[in-house]
Amino acid sequence: MSPRWQALIRLLGVQAAWTYERMAGIGVGHAAAPLLRELYRERPAEARRAAVARSAAYFNSHPYLAGVAVGAVVHAEREGLAGPVITRFRVALSGPLGALGDQLIWTGEVPALMGLALATVPLVGWWAVLLVLVVHNTLRVRLTLWGLDLGLREGVHVGAALQQSWLPRAATEAQRLAAFAVGLGVPMAAAWLLDSESPAGVRATLAAALVGVVLLFAPWTRTRITGLRFGLTLLVLVLLLVVTGGDR
């Protein structure tokens, strides 16, 4: 298997040794190792070890875009840039790659796919789930490989190349699609889930949900209450009511 493909496979597990201190640094070093091994095959072992150590230092970005940094750093090592320059360049990439990836994936593609899945589950059942997995994983592997190749091609100019690429625009569009898809999916899935409930059940559920939304936005509760905490509290209260017979 070529070093490029080895790096791609390793990038799928880039957060395996994630820590609060080095974040994804170790994973990035692991992903870069096959490319560095090939690059330094005929150079002094000390130089290779120094490059490996640099590649595993602190690094943080969105995991799907870590390949951009891996490729760019390997390119910079190939060009023979000084170690401190490469380290500074690597750290400088962290913020933009993290922000762009979070916009594209966590607040874009993922909620968009899940919203569309929730909208279509009442129509096509579990096929919607299968479709989510196929679409997401195809995009994820293609994005990771694209990022790795972009970094390997552009080196220290990868920041400008990223800005001129399709990625920033795709991130904006993905966030809009996510907002629309979640808006579409929530009422459709809720109606499907409430289908078998009595009118009283539907009214009680919607009323309790409204109370939850108010609590999640009210200035005196919004920092302490999450949807999960609200739901769990409600569930425990209802359980007590049901078990003690207080509902009769």
Q: How many CA atoms lie within 13 A of 192 on its CB side?
A: 15
Tokens of 178: 């996510």
Among positions 78-117, residues that touch other proteins (CB under 8 A) are 98, 102, 106-107, 110-111, 113-115, 117
Mask for 20-59, x = binds other proteins (CB under 8 A):
xxxx--xx-xx--x---x----------xxxxxx--x---
Mask for 56-75, x = binds other proteins (CB under 8 A):
x---x--xx-----------
Helix axis angle for 127-154 and 3-11, nearest 10°, is 130
Residue 41 CB, nearest approach to other proteins (Å): 13
Please say whether the beta carbons of 121 and 128 come within 8 A. Answer: yes
218 near other proteins (CB under 8 A): no
Among positions 179-198, residues that touch other proteins (CB under 8 A) are 179-194, 196-197
Alpha helices by DSSP H, the chain: 3-11, 25-39, 45-55, 66-79, 83-101, 110-124, 127-154, 158-164, 167-193, 199-217, 227-244
Residue 148 CB, nearest approach to other proteins (Å): 16
Instruction: State which residue, 85 or 236, has the beta carbon closest to other proteins.
Output: 236
Instruction: State which residue, 22 or 78, has the beta carbon closest to other proteins.
Output: 22
Please say whether the beta carbons of 156 and 226 come within 8 A. Answer: no
